[in-house]
Homo-oligomer: A and B are copies of this chain.
Amino acid sequence: MKPSSRKLEIITTASTLFKEKGYSAVTMRDIAKSMGIKAASLYNHIKNKEEILTFIIISLAEEFIEGLDNIQNSNASSVEKLKQIVALHVDITSRNTNGMASLNNDWMHLKDELDRYLFLRVDYENSFREIIKEGISKNEIKNINPDIMLFSVLSTLRSLYVWIPQKEDLNASQLASNLSEVLLNGINK
């Protein structure tokens, strides 16, 4: 999908508002007011409110799937793959913190594309889990319940959108390497 520039403007404006108040609490009038136009004018560029949310969420979800596929098909070690996943999340989130809020919190308001989103999410988690399991069997990663490790790491990565805007002094590669250290080796000395 290649939206026109005006449509993109609507989407980015909406993303900012969705992050602040959540999809349901943001009205078409809110979005229009932020752009200095009337709500009715929005419908010359988009079909309805849902289309805005769908675009934000699905395009991000696809970016994650594509990134993980590339990592999975590389020859790197399991630990190296995990570091690349951390970098992937830092990269995508840095470029679109507002959209990441909707991906995390507003997906349940999807209609037409809800099933596809859920499929992509399960697919992503399964691939991630496989990399962890592969690391366990290759003796690179501790033999703890893989679900607990997946949950712990993924929870942190999914929360990056809250934290990155508050820490603009750290650049992406510094953040990714520090975060990899903490997630892989813990905080205990």
Report A's interface with B, CB cutoff 8 A.
20-25, 79, 82, 105-106, 108-109, 132, 135, 139-142, 144-145, 147-149, 151-153, 155-156, 158-159, 162-163, 167, 175, 178-179, 181-189
With contact pairs A151-B156, A155-B156, A156-B156 given, residues A144 and B108 touching in the complex (Cβ less than 8 Å)? no
Return A76 CB to nearest CB of chain B, in Å.
15
Copies in the complex: 2
A183-B181 in contact (CB<8A): no
**With A144-B181, A148-B179, A186-B183: A22-B105 Cβ-Cβ less than 8 Å:** yes
Smallest Cβ-Cβ distance to A143: which chain B residue: B189
Which residues in B have their C-beta under 8 angstroms from that of A23?
22
Q: Is the CB of B149 within 8 A of A187?
A: yes
Residues of chain B within 8 A (CB-CB) of A153 are: 187
